[in-house]
Structure 1
């Protein structure tokens, strides 16, 4: 009986990790904080997540093939196959679960590489210029 209970718990935990999640804005801000995002960037990252995915970890843009809460591009940053690859050495599918640690790590890499090329790392996200440029502190201020 103990074996069956243990097996059930293991299967349940595996299945639970396969599901996505829609974050609440403040929950997202707090998660970014725990992952070491600088305080002055919290609002911009939160704004980007809102306009890119509406905070949905399972978001997939079927026109651009961007994945996850921060819409990581399969063109440069993740592999659509089952083998990790491209700039973040990741599969795109891994950005569709409720654990956003790897999404944020990849997004920071995208930010750093884009900053080297253009001077503004956030310009890698199309929603940045239209919605998230300038003072975005209000996106995080009520959450801290």
Structure 2
């Protein structure tokens, strides 16, 4: 495969996991293919915004840390020092600024959204909700 067909395949795979109803990989092989597609797309984007919808802040920040590490970023926070919120939360993380914020979340979705910012149209987009446990145990 060439870089263009790899990118097209990655985009189609990410699009298939994006939508109103979250989709879970059917096998470990499919999960690994999804992880590789996410890494390819984020590796080609200038920056990303990650949105984590989780049951509580502890789970949300653990998931965020797993995703950041998997995408090659340093984790700029200590989970033990994060405000503990025991109700559903939304965490937004901006990789350009390496900043984040936490907010209450009343929705039913649980998972991770990734918005890629790029000059390349094929890369630009918001993908997910991806499984909380895709890159590590929440």
Q: Identify whether the pair has TM-score above 0.5, normalized to the shorter chain.
A: no
With the length of structure 1 as denominator, give the TM-score of the two structures: 0.24
The answer to which structure has the higher helix fraction is 1
Higher relative contact order (CA 8 A, sep 6+): 2
The answer to which structure has the higher strand fraction is 2
